[in-house]
Chains A and B, each alone.
Chain A
Amino acid sequence: MNELDRYLRQVGFWLPRRQRADILRELRGVLEDLLAAAESEAGRPLDPRQARAALSRFGLPALVASRYASRRPVVSPALSHAFWRVLAISLAGALLAQAVVLSIRLAVGAAPATALGFVAGKLFVVLPWTVTLVLFAFVLLDRICVHRADASSLE
């Protein structure tokens, strides 16, 4: 396997499967031209190190592939401010609820270490669930908003 094949394989790893073969076919042509130009500049065939250097000027494989990504963000920029706000409020609410639970447990005479351990254990479950639920709610909201925007742009 030469340096070009290795580079293309690395780019291909990050590309969407559906378009991979087609994009790599085009990129191969572009990079062959790039290597040929580097070779004519050097006046002799490139050794593997020089070929790697020439290819690296085209960009890191993951970054090259990311330019082809057409996937929508999980939460679109229009909703991202609201998303962070709701997430912060929800996390603060979850922490506050556990602080109340902790206070009640301490008030009814539970040992502080036991009460803290109980609340810490709850937080390990509650916080990831809060993040997950808020995220899912916004993903759904995002899809509905975008669907409506698409529908109204067609009217």
Chain B
Amino acid sequence: MAGKRASLDSLRQELRRGSLVLAVLAATGEEAYGAVLRERLAEHRVLIEEGALYPMLRRLEEQGLLASEWRHEGSRTKRFYRRSPFGSEVLQALSEEWKAFSESLEHLLGNQ
């Protein structure tokens, strides 16, 4: 039973991993630092651990999909992230891909 649960958890994580990139790209149209971005995602019921969000933001920036800037917020300096023009292009392409795939999948699941 524990093995089945572990396997289900691992499949669930695998399923979410790719879609989280899409969610983060969609949420960074307006610039935000990590905690705000996490809240923004949570408002749309997309939950992501802090420990996973920051490395992902950095990876997306390295790929040129996000741009970032250090800025003062209250008494602290925070790193603000925003989608780059290339990120917007990729978001557009990925969301089309997502919609087409999701449509096919829903059709397939509807036949079960």
Which residues of A are in contact with B by a Cβ distance under 8 Å? Answer: 19, 23, 25-27, 29-30, 32-34, 58-59, 64, 67-68, 70
Which of B13-21, B50-58, B88-96 binds A?
B50-58
Q: Is the interface of A mostly helix, strand, loop or mixed?
A: helix
CB atoms of B51 and A59 under 8 A apart: yes
Q: Considering only CB atoms and an 8 Å cut-off, how many residues of chain B contact the other chain?
A: 15
Closest to A65 in B: B55
Interface residues of B in 68-83 (CB under 8 A from A): 70, 76-79
Give the most central of A25, A26, A59, A64: most B CB within 10 Å: A26
CB atoms of B52 and A70 under 8 A apart: no
**Across-interface contacts of A26 in B (CB, < 8 A):** 34, 54, 79
Which residues of B are in contact with A by a Cβ distance under 8 Å? Answer: 34-35, 50-52, 54-55, 58-59, 62, 70, 76-79
Distance (whole angstroms) from the CB of B106 to the closest CB of chain A: 29
CB atoms of A58 and B78 under 8 A apart: no
- Picked from A19, A30, A32, A70, the residue with its CB within 8 Å of the CB of B50 is A30
**Across-interface contacts of B52 in A (CB, < 8 A):** 67
A59 to B53, CA, bound (A): 13
A117 to B47, CA, bound (A): 61
Known: A29-B76, A29-B77. A70 touches B51 (CB 8 A): no
CB atoms of B62 and A30 under 8 A apart: no
CB atoms of A27 and B76 under 8 A apart: no
Distance (whole angstroms) from the CB of A56 to the closest CB of chain B: 12
